[in-house]
Structure 1
Amino acid sequence: MGAGYNNGPLVLGVGYLNARTPAASGGLFNNGGTTTAANAAVTSPVYAGFASANTYQVIGAGGAYTFGAATIGATYSNIRFGNLGASFTSPFKGQSATFNNAELNFKYQLTPALLVGAAYDYTRGAEINGASRAQYHQGSVGVDYFLSKRTDVYVIGVYQHALGETLNAAGATVNATAGINGLSGSSNQNQLAARVGIRHKF
């Protein structure tokens, strides 16, 4: 469920998602065994220890404001994994875990063909029986150049640093490791990714 508002330079949006038994076959985390965005997020070390939740709930809000060639935006989301261990063995069966995420982003149209942007993202993990909360700091920068109305080339760089402790897929408390969304998780606290690509719209 969601709603949006758009008036001149101001854009606002809010959304709500509630999924029951998300890790069950055909659920949000395991939709027919296919590699979906939701499934990839839960195999990440950031969320892997919470996939046994009976309920997955997300409340998010965001907005952006454009002034001249620049746009600044911000988002916030609250993610709740409810009733952990309802379907899988876990020493934390019945408990709930909450994550909070916030992002600031900025983009600037240097020329009609050249766009640059940057973003900072902060995620605060759940408290696990007195362990230090996991924290994830992520920064990204990108450049996009339009060769034509339908074709552009881009370069993107992303860096993430993890701190604190979290749960692994077996339910044990471990040191948090970095896990950039859409990639295999890192074996340590840091992860760096870069992408160069060309896109053509049909």
Structure 2
Amino acid sequence: MADENQDYSRLNNRNQRRKPKKWLSLVLALAGAAVVVVLLIAVLNDKPTASNETTDDGQNKQTIADQVSGKKASDEENKEQGDEEKKDEEEQDKEEKDSKKEEVEPTDGNVKEAYKKDWEPIGTEQSGAHTTTFQEDTTDWREIERAAAEAVGLDPSSMTTWYIGNNGNGGNDIVATISGSNSAETFRVYASWADGEGWQATKVEVLKENDKN
């Protein structure tokens, strides 16, 4: 009977010693599981959601659109500024040319003002040897009209051409009488042919009366 009590006492002692080990193992297992859960939560929270990605993509697209719109606005502003500068330069060139008028003797008593300026040839569509053609609606006729119109600042498409005639030099010198559609003044314009460069105005006379009407 005493032996049985001793065996039971030893078994009971072993069981008592094993209990702390079981609790320790259980605590460690729970701690490990908690760490895994925390890591998973951290990883999932760090990953961008589809909503965030969509928002970021929309913001990027909006930023690009704003940049493109801003560039277009800047280009248009630069173009407008360039057009204004070009217009100012043209007006300045015109004023400079007008200031370089050289008064000359009139051809007859019907002239109230006669002057010369440094006109440039207007260019030409013609090539090869040139022979002046005094026929309406020909290339030569239209180019003479344009040279005469530019010399006095008229629009060749709306002016009236009263006369174009030979003024010597084998037809390479001409005289044209023109007037603007809304102008009371009539002009007599002299021009000469420049090979490869077209007609070039040489003198303008402002008439007192239209002698070709």
Q: TM-score, normalised by structure 2?
A: 0.27
Q: TM-score, normalised by structure 1?
A: 0.28
Give the strand-richer structure, 1 or 2: 1
